[in-house]
Amino acid sequence: MNASIADFIPNLLQGAILTIVIAASSWVIATGLGFVFALIQRSRFVLVRGVNDFITTCLRGLPQLVMVYLVYFGLGQLGFDLSPFLAAVIALGVTEASFTAEIFRSGFATVGPRRVEAAQSLGLSGRQIVASIELPILMRFATAPLLNSFVGLVKLSTLASAIGVGELLYQGRIIITRTYQIVEVSLLLIALYLIFTVPITRSVTWIEGRMRSRIA
């Protein structure tokens, strides 16, 4: 009996869940590491800023698929036995961090020196200024770009299939080999990815509209 797409619905649901988990986990790494990169870039030491800028520039210029291979196979040869899932999450998260660092850097720039100088005149320490003055303003301006970053990671999660992670695209390929329904499966995958990404994209548009109205 020929297999149908309906027979593989559980596989698709499993792949869809794994796609979101990969994207969310990578996003957490990208957000945290990107914030660290942005903070380091504010160092008073030229050498530290230079090294940080060199690292982020290299990461931005490196194809994500190459990074996935490098983390999985490269670290494996060095004795780090990472699972395909963990390797994909680390690779995508670290690479995306170079882009979120620019989001945070731009956010810090919106704070302006006057607010910082006013806080310093009140006797606030550097950490207090970041926590109470800069961070709230930063997150207000960075929320929409960071959500866009998550959408990008949902799409980039397809690269995890290259090292055998059973995310949505991987499951779709299996279904195609079993059913030979290439067009139908492809349309179904498109629909599922749009279900993930369109609501977030619309939220970004709404947030950006609110920000423009506040600035105006």
Q: State the Rg of the chain over Cα.
A: 21
Is it the case that residue 134 has pLDDT exceeding 60? yes
The CA-atom distances, in angstroms, between 79 and each of 72, 73, 86, 124, 207 are 11, 10, 15, 46, 45
Cβ 98 vs Cβ 56: under 8 Å: yes
CATH number of residue 145's parent domain = 1.10.3720.10
3-state class (DSSP) for residue 106: helix
Largest distance between two CA atoms of the chain: 78
Question: What is the average pLDDT score of the chain?
Answer: 88
Digit-coded pLDDT (tens) for 66-86 = 999 999 999 989 988 899 999
* pLDDT (0 to 100) of residue 159: 96
Is it the case that residue 1 has pLDDT exceeding 60? no
Is it the case that residue 207 has pLDDT exceeding 80? no
Q: How many domains in the chain?
A: 1
The Cα–Cα gap between 168 and 189 comes to: 7
Is it the case that residue 216 has pLDDT exceeding 50? no
What's the mean pLDDT in 32-54? 94
What's the pTM value of the predicted model, to 2 decimals? 0.87
Residue 113 CB coordination number (10 Å) = 9
Instruction: Give the domain range for residue 154.
Output: 5-215
* pLDDT (0 to 100) of residue 212: 59
Phi, psi of 165 (to 5 degrees): -80, 130
And the tokens for 123?
């006797």
And the tokens for 5?
């797409």
